[in-house]
Chains A and B, each alone.
Chain A
Amino acid sequence: DAGITQSPRHKVTETGTPVTLRCHQTENHRYMYWYRQDPGHGLRLIHYSYGVKDTDKGEVSDGYSVSRSKTEDFLLTLESATSSQTSVYFCAIRELADTDTQYFGPGTRLTVL
Chain B
Amino acid sequence: DGGITQSPKYLFRKEGQNVTLSCEQNLNHDAMYWYRQDPGQGLRLIYYSQIVNDFQKGDIAEGYSVSREKKESFPLTVTSAQKNPTAFYLCASSTPSGRPLNNEQFFGPGTRLTVL
Asked if A and B are interacting partners, one says no
The residues of A with any CB-CB pair to B shorter than 8 Å are: none
